[in-house]
Amino acid sequence: MQFDQAYSGKVFIMSQPDFNQAKAVIYGMPMDWTVSFRPGSRFGPNRIREASIGLEEYSPYLDRHLEQVSYFDAGDMPLPFGNAERSLTEIYQHVTKWLEKDKFPLGLGGEHLVTWPVVQAVYKKYPNLKVIHIDAHADLREEYEGEVLSHSTPIRKICDLIGAPNVYSFGIRSGMREEFTYAKESGMYMARYDVAKPLAEVLPNLAGSDLYVTIDIDVLDPAYAPGTGTAEAGGINAKELLEAIHLLANANVNIVGADLVEVAPAYDPTEQTAIVASKCVREMLLGWVK
């Protein structure tokens, strides 16, 4: 497998064909082997790409056009169906190769466990890494029904890897009591329910930091994003999520990679989940890829 060739024909709008000239790489991680409720997020990356066709190429929020950003869409990784451990290894190896070529990795999920090997790869290159986690769920379990490789565990694994005080979670409104206790006692930062306001308060303290940002689409209320595996009532709206993306774009931080996960299109015949996800990806490209 060559790392500079697309895996499939569908690409995000205005993706360029030359890997070597690209600053960023968009890639899909079509894995939902460990989900605990509704499967189907492995189909999310391609639906996000398809929805991007309806986007304008100009962002009035950032006053930037997609022609100003150089990115290559590698398509979806050919992950071994049903094999979580091998899939995570494949993701780690691919992202490591792109980082070695100084590419900005922008991943599309797929279940949230796919973030774990990406952060491992990014942390290897940026040892002072901090992680911004935007989600409805804490994802701080050590295991789910005996399975340590679960989409309920990636943030706990990341805390163990980079240190809990280097992890900042926003929008959290669901989890076991033990997860909230861990967050309180470990030194990690957790903002419940809201995203933009607490993020604005925290960002000055992160000035100069290398950041990886992971966004679970279920941080949005199901009214705005019903197409996800574990929808959770009481979430933020799309305007607030975009505001958070723009806060990060305008902050004095170095964003070194990002992902957007858990779009499961089968549960949203209106396609509004894929539509809002594709707009978020556009703003991430325009605001975070320097």
pLDDT in tens, the chain (290 residues): 455 555 555 899 999 999 999 999 999 999 998 888 899 999 999 999 999 999 999 999 999 999 999 999 999 999 999 899 999 999 999 999 999 999 999 999 999 999 999 999 999 999 999 999 999 999 999 877 777 778 889 999 999 999 999 999 999 999 999 999 999 999 999 999 999 999 999 999 999 999 999 999 999 999 999 999 999 999 999 999 999 999 999 999 999 999 999 999 999 999 999 999 999 999 999 999 98
Q: Give the pLDDT of residue 140.
A: 97
Q: What is the pTM of this model?
A: 0.96
In this structure, is residue 217 part of a structural domain? yes
CB neighbourhood size of 89 (10 A): 14
Compute the distance between CA of residue 117 and CA of residue 273 in angstroms, rounded to an integer.
25
Give the angle 135-137-142 at the CA atoms, nearest 5°: 125
- Per-residue DSSP letter, 79: -
Query: Residue 165 sits in which domain range?
Result: 24-288
Query: Rounded to the nearest 5°, which phi and psi values hold at 34?
Result: -115, 15
- Tally of structural domains, the chain: 1
Q: Give the pLDDT of residue 3.
A: 54
In this structure, is residue 6 part of a structural domain? no
Compute the distance between CA of residue 21 and CA of residue 130 in angstroms, rounded to an integer.
28
Q: Give the pLDDT of residue 144.
A: 76
Q: Give the pLDDT of residue 243.
A: 98
Distances (CA, A) of 36 to 101, 170, 207, 227: 36, 22, 37, 15
Q: Give the pLDDT of residue 143.
A: 77
In this structure, is residue 12 part of a structural domain? no
In this structure, is residue 173 part of a structural domain? yes
Q: Give the pLDDT of residue 32.
A: 94
Residues 6+ apart with CB under 8 A from 201: none
In this structure, is residue 150 part of a structural domain? yes
Instruction: Compute the residue count for the chain.
Output: 290
In this structure, is residue 4 part of a structural domain? no
CA dihedral angle for residue 83, residue 85, residue 88, residue 89, rounded to 10 degrees: -110
In this structure, is residue 201 part of a structural domain? yes
State the CATH number of the domain containing residue 162: 3.40.800.10
Q: Give the pLDDT of residue 242.
A: 98
In this structure, is residue 190 part of a structural domain? yes
Q: Could you tell me the end-to-end alpha-carbon distance of the chain, in angstroms, rounded to an integer? A: 28
